[in-house]
């Protein structure tokens, strides 16, 4: 019997990446791909196996979600891939809302598919190691999967515990993966760095300005693990269908050493800029731009670009300038250890700069940035 996938959070960067990976699989491997998201289908993917459910998991009750899964022949689900996420500034609120979302997905899957499920796959990330809270909370680097948890609330702790609980109760296998900065495409994902970067580069090009690195000198030099959504999803698919990797937690990233100082000249080349030698302040924590303010004020320039190239009129709203400013300002390394994944047989290494180029190429095809 062929497997059936159910992708929760299908319109996001990671959900789209998983759907890309699934449609590469043969019909005999995966005969159906059930996709679930609050918004209607946003991705540019065509495959007869895709069945899309648009439903608000926050507002919907379990019975409503169950009904929609039954319509999709959800009793055939063998693999659940969970990426749904609601960001909140308050940690307790973020913990509560994301626990509710995951619990609804697990309850609905349990009721509809039950023992037919082989594996539930959850993606969390380096926030597990406290990277969002700063060095005083962070685990020792490079991060290893069994690192001690930091004090206080972390919604990834709640989610990982919940996945293990339901897997144990239902005799399902589970797979948990922890990527870092994810490169990929989506329309309206709150953590979409690649779109923000591409729009910024296009604005600078339009203004005739150099591709100034908006952040500070420390962020320019630190090592920042990147995780291509394509690499993540292929790893997650491999781990969830491999008996040897059942009930394990893995770090996953591209496997190369990434710094903005080495990526930036490649971005300049891709977007057709002359090389600009960055000149930072003596204060190594001082950013070269107030990025949020700068990009907000550049909206009129972007509107002109939209008109000239007939781009998606909502494209500016797909970016997140605050999140991008944060990434341009990280003053410490964030490195995870891939030893465990390697020891189980994962050998893939991805060129991060090439991942960005592929992402930018797709954004052009989606009419989000100019060609």
- Tell me the per-residue pLDDT of 14-57, one tens digit each, with 9 for 90 and over: 999 999 999 999 999 999 999 999 988 877 788 999 999 999 99
Residues with Cβ < 8 Å from 247, sequence gap 6 or more? 167, 173, 174, 175
Tokens 């991008």 correspond to 324
pLDDT band at 192 (very low <50, low <70, confident <90, very high): confident
Q: What percent of the chain has pLDDT over 90?
A: 95
pLDDT at 188 over 90: no
Q: In the structure, what pLDDT confidence band is assigned to residue 110 with cuts at 50, 70 and 90?
A: very high
- What φ, ψ does residue 119 adopt, rounded to 5°? -150, 140
Mean of the pLDDT values across residues 93-109?
98
Q: What is the pLDDT of residue 139?
A: 98
Burial class, 346, CB count within 10 angstroms (exposed 0-12 / middle 13-18 / buried 19+) = buried
Q: Which of 59, 55, 54 is nearest to 40 (CA)?
A: 54
Give the pLDDT confidence score for residue 45 in this predicted structure: 80
> How does 37-47 read in b/e, with b if 16+ C-beta sit within 10 Å?
bbeeebbeeee
Compute and round to an integer the Cα radius of gyration of the chain: 21
Structure tokens that stand for 295 in this block: 């990009």
Contact between 240 and 170 under an 8 Å Cβ cutoff? The reply is no
**362 and 181 Cβ atoms separated by less than 8 Å:** no
Quote the CA–CA distance of 158 and 28 in Å, as a whole number. Answer: 35
Distance of CA 254 to the CA centre of its chain: 13
DSSP label at residue 143: B
56-94: pLDDT as tens digits = 999 999 999 999 999 999 999 999 999 999 999 999 999
**β-strands 173-178, 248-251 pairing:** parallel
Tokens of 192: 């979409």
CA gap 368, 84 in Å, rounded = 23
In this predicted structure, the answer to whether residue 283 has a pLDDT above a threshold of 80 is yes
Give the mean pLDDT of 192-221. 97
Q: Is the pLDDT of residue 370 over 70?
A: yes
* Average pLDDT for 352-360: 97
189 pLDDT tier (thresholds 50, 70, 90): low
Instruction: Decide if 40 contacts 80 (C-beta within 8 A).
Output: no
CB 320 within 8 A of CB 190: yes
**Kind and range of the H or E run holding 251:** strand 248-251
State residue 326 phi and psi, 5-degree precision. Answer: -60, -45
Per-residue DSSP letter, 215: S
Long-range contacts of 54-57 (CB under 8 A, 24+ apart): 57/8, 57/84, 57/101, 57/104, 57/105
Structure-model confidence comparison of residues 89 and 345, the more confident one: 345
Return mean pLDDT, the chain. Answer: 96
Pairing state between β 181-183 and 79-82: unpaired
193-211 average pLDDT score: 97
Contacts of 216 (CB under 8 A, 6+ apart): 280, 281, 283, 284, 285, 286, 287, 288, 328, 329, 331
Token pair belonging to 222:
């630190």
Question: What pLDDT is recorded for position 231?
Answer: 98
CB 36 within 8 A of CB 9: yes
Which is it for the CA torsion 115, 346, 178, 50, positive or negative? negative
């Amino acid at each position: 019997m062929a497997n059936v996938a159910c992708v929760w959070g299908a319109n996001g960067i990671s959900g789209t990446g998983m759907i890309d990976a699934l449609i590469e699989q043969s019909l005999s491997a995966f005969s159906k791909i059930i996709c679930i998201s609050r918004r209607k289908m946003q991705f540019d993917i065509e495959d007869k196996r895709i069945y899309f459910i648009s439903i608000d998991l926050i507002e919907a009750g379990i019975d409503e979600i169950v009904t929609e899964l039954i319509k999709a022949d959800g009793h055939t689900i063998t693999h659940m891939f969970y990426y749904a996420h609601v960001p909140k500034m308050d940690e307790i609120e973020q913990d509560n809302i994301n626990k509710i979302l995951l619990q609804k997905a697990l309850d609905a899957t349990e009721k509809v598919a039950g023992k037919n499920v082989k594996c539930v796959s959850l993606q969390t990330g380096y926030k597990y190691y406290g990277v969002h809270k700063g060095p005083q909370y962070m685990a020792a680097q490079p991060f290893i999967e069994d690192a001690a948890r930091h004090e206080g609330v972390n919604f990834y702790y709640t989610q990982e515990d919940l996945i293990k609980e339901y897997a144990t109760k239902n005799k399902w296998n589970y797979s948990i993966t922890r990527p870092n900065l994810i490169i990929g495409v989506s329309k309206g994902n709150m953590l979409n760095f690649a779109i923000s970067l591409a729009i910024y580069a296009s604005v600078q090009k339009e203004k005739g300005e150099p591709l100034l690195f908006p952040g500070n000198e420390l962020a320019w030099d630190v090592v920042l693990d990147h995780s291509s959504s394509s690499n993540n999803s292929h790893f997650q698919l491999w781990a969830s269908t491999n008996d040897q990797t059942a009930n394990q937690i893995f770090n996953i990233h591209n496997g190369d050493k990434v710094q903005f100082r080495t990526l930036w000249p490649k971005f300049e080349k891709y977007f057709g800029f002359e090389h600009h030698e960055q000149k930072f302040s003596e204060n190594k924590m001082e950013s070269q731009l107030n990025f949020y303010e700068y990009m907000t004020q550049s909206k009129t320039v972007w509107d002109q670009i939209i008109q000239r190239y007939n781009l998606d009129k909502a494209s500016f709203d797909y970016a997140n300038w605050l999140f991008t400013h944060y990434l341009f300002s990280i003053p410490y390394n964030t490195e995870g250890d891939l030893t465990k994944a390697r020891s189980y047989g994962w050998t893939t290494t991805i060129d991060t700069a090439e991942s960005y180029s592929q992402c930018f190429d797709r954004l052009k095809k989606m009419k989000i940035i100019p060609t």
